Amino acid sequence: MAAIKLDMSKAYDRVEWNFLRKVMIKMGFHNRWVDLIMKCVTTVSYRIKVNGEYTEQIYPQRSLRQDDSLIFMNAVHTGALELKNILQSYERASGQMINREKSSILFSPNTPHSVRNQICSILSIANKAYNERYLGLPVAVGKSRRKTFEYIKQRVWNRIQGWQERLLSKAGKEIMIKAVAQAIPTYAMSCFDLTKSVCDDLNSMIARYWWSQQDKLNKIHWFSWEKLTRSKKKGGLGFRDLHLFNMAMLSRQAWRLLTNPDMLCAQVLKAKYYPNKELIQCTARRGISYSWRSILKGLKLLKQGLIWRIGDGMNTNIWTDPWIPRGSTRRPATPRGPSLLTKVADLIDPGTGTWDEKLVLDTFWPEDAQIILNIPTAEGMNDWPAWHYD
CB 294 within 8 A of CB 309: no
Q: Per residue in 361-372, pLDDT tens?
A: 999 999 999 999
Which pLDDT belongs to residue 128?
67
Percent of the chain with pLDDT over 90: 38
Q: How far apart are the first and last CA of the chain?
A: 42
Q: Per residue in 142-177, pLDDT tens?
A: 778 888 888 999 999 888 887 765 677 888 888 888
* All residues at 6 or more sequence positions from 198 whose CB lies less than 8 Å from its CB, including other chains: 145, 146, 149, 152, 153
Percent of the chain with pLDDT over 70: 92
Which pLDDT belongs to residue 68?
65
Are 116 and 35 part of one and the same domain? yes
Reported confidence tier of residue 63, pLDDT bands at 50, 70, 90: low
Residue 135 lies in a domain: no
Q: Which amino acid is at 386?
A: A
Question: Is 16's pLDDT higher than 80?
Answer: no
**Last residue of a domain, which of 96, 123, 150?**
123
Are 193 and 270 part of one and the same domain? yes
**Last residue of a domain, which of 252, 275, 304?**
304
Q: Which domain holds residue 370?
A: 307-390
Are 75 and 13 part of one and the same domain? yes
Are 296 and 318 part of one and the same domain? no
Residue 162 lies in a domain: yes
Residue 198 lies in a domain: yes
Are 315 and 282 part of one and the same domain? no
Neighbouring-strand partners of residue 49: 54
Which pLDDT belongs to residue 298?
94
Which pLDDT belongs to residue 311?
92
DSSP 317: B
Residue 253 lies in a domain: yes
Are 179 and 112 part of one and the same domain? no
CB 116 within 8 A of CB 75: yes
Residue 226 lies in a domain: yes
Are 277 and 214 part of one and the same domain? yes
Residue 36 lies in a domain: yes
Are 161 and 116 part of one and the same domain? no
Reported confidence tier of residue 192, pLDDT bands at 50, 70, 90: very high
- More confident position, 166 or 255: 255
> What values do phi and psi take at 40, rounded to 5?
-65, -35
Report the alpha-carbon distance of residue 111 to residue 2 in Å, rounded: 9
Report the candidate in 278, 289, 290, 311 with the shortest Cα–Cα distance to residue 386: 311
Which pLDDT belongs to residue 65?
54
Are 90 and 239 part of one and the same domain? no
Are 293 and 314 part of one and the same domain? no
Residue 129 lies in a domain: no
Which pLDDT belongs to residue 165?
59
Report the candidate in 38, 42, 48, 40 with the shortest Cα–Cα distance to residue 60: 42
The overall average pLDDT reported for the chain is 85
- The model's pTM: 0.70
Q: Per residue in 78-133, pLDDT tens?
A: 999 999 999 898 888 777 788 888 888 888 777 888 998 999 999 988 876 655 67
| Number of structural domains the chain divides into | 3
Residue 325 lies in a domain: yes
Reported confidence tier of residue 136, pLDDT bands at 50, 70, 90: confident
- More confident position, 316 or 338: 316
**Last residue of a domain, which of 259, 284, 304?**
304
Are 277 and 193 part of one and the same domain? yes
Reported confidence tier of residue 220, pLDDT bands at 50, 70, 90: confident
Are 166 and 299 part of one and the same domain? yes
Q: Which amino acid is at 341?
A: L
